[in-house]
Structure 1
Amino acid sequence: MATASLPALPARPLVLADLVPAVRARNVVLVALGVLFTALLAQVSVPVPGSPVPITGQTLAVVLTAASLGPMRGVAVQVFYILSALVGLPFYSEASGGVDVVFGATGGYVVGFIPAAYLIGLAARRGADRNPLKAAPLFVAGQAVIFAVGVPWLAVSTGMSASQALEAGFYPFIVGGIVKAAVAAAVLGTAWKLVRRS
């Protein structure tokens, strides 16, 4: 008697980190490297006149780590990044850290890294990071999530009005956010091309 064979299950979609050999410590190492990478890019910091929020490389790090590591590891990077600063490690801009910094005027942006990392990682898990033309709008949207948390936090923590918070914490960062999205899209698109050729 013939039996019907079950259709093969589709392979789980990959993010770049899934291409690293699956050794026991892989996820721990990848998350630790993501935290250090975010801390490193946080030191790329340019003050914005009249604003407590500097332009930093952190959002570029969030986009790159989330898209490369996927949603769960991307979120883990940002949670451990916040925890590292809470215990006083100098992982924020200008080598700052501590409770006052984490919960200060710019704290909302860093809290916004968590949902942004999840959403970017989830989209990357579905292949949205492989084509730069598709990835760039995704990365702009991910940064918009960061501002959606950061700007109201800035207003509440400093007593600014909504329009003042937008002037100090959003408008000066629009062009930089678009540039970072384009850079991340180009980097990841190139990485995927190299992977496909190997």
Structure 2
Amino acid sequence: MSTANPTLARPGALTDLLPGERVRDVALTVGFTGLIALSAELFFYLPGNPVPITGQTFVVLAGAIALGGKRATAGALLYLALGALGLPFFAASGGATLGYIVGFAVAALLLGTWASRGGARTVGAVTLAMVVGNLVIYAFGATWLGIFTGQGAEFAVANGVVPFLPGDAVKIAAAVAVLPTLWKLVERRDDA
């Protein structure tokens, strides 16, 4: 039997459970930006490929699901803005990855908004969210890569999508292992 107050709204995102709304929002947004930047520093290039392998897609997509739409979008846009202002967040690519970074913000908005509405709590929903988020990032990233390099769609897909599919499958599995489990723990705590 649940002793939780039925008049209180259920949290939309995991981080809605933290107290102090404005301070929490700013801290989480800036922290999210920092995690995106940190995950960009752990990279390596495949031979002949202008797009590095990083942990950014995991941070952006799982973060969007955990943070919700407003905070995740603001954090991704802050990352983009700080990089545009010259911070060395994405300078290593020489501009080839700008489309992916724009895709981060769009994916954060879509996934975070869906999560804020309670849509990304189960294994199936998190899997779907991560797949859709990756597709959004690939759409923006590969399109820009083809334009930036002048080598077209075939080059963009071969270099900007295909090499990343195995790693993204691992990232999806990690998100599926963590996020629904956190929701179950939170819901058990609320029911206690």
Fold shared by both chains (TM-score > 0.5): yes
Superposed CA deviations along residues 110-160 of structure 1, whole A, max 9, x for unmatched, are 001111011111221232321123211220111100011111100111111
Q: Tell me the residue number matched to 1:71.
A: 69
Superposed CA deviations along residues 36-91 of structure 1, whole A, max 9, x for unmatched, are 11111112212122210011101001112111111111110100001111222232
Q: Are the aligned partners of 2:62 and 2:130 in contact in 1 as well (CA < 8 Å)? A: no
1:19 aligns with 2:14: no
CA RMSD of aligned residues (A): 2.0
Q: Tell me the residue number matched to 1:33.
A: 31
Q: Are the aligned partners of 1:137 and 1:181 in contact in 2 as well (CA < 8 Å)? A: no
Q: Are the aligned partners of 2:11 and 2:17 in contact in 1 as well (CA < 8 Å)? A: no
Moved over 4 A (4+): none
Q: Tell me the residue number matched to 2:3.
A: none
1:128 aligns with 2:119: yes
Percent identity for Structure 1 against Structure 2: 43
TM-fit CA distance, 1:9: 8.2
3-state SS, counterpart of residue 105 of structure 1: coil
1: CA distance, partners of 2:54 / 2:39: 7
Q: Tell me the residue number matched to 1:62.
A: 60
> What TM-score do the two structures reach when normalised by structure 1?
0.85
Q: Are the aligned partners of 1:66 and 1:121 in contact in 2 as well (CA < 8 Å)? A: yes
TM-fit CA distance, 1:175: 1.6
2: CA distance, partners of 1:24 / 1:138: 27
Structure of higher CA gyration radius:
1
Note the 1:142-181 alignment, pairs <5 A.
142-181=133-172
Q: Which stretches in structure 1 are left out of the alignment for 5+ residues?
A: 1-7
Letter in 1 for 2:132: A
Letter in 2 for 1:148: A
Q: Tell me the residue number matched to 1:107.
A: 98
Note the 1:72-91 alignment, pairs <5 A.
72-91=70-89
> What TM-score do the two structures reach when normalised by structure 2?
0.87
2: CA distance, partners of 1:140 / 1:43: 24
2: CA distance, partners of 1:134 / 1:61: 17
1: CA distance, partners of 2:21 / 2:12: 16
Letter in 1 for 2:188: R
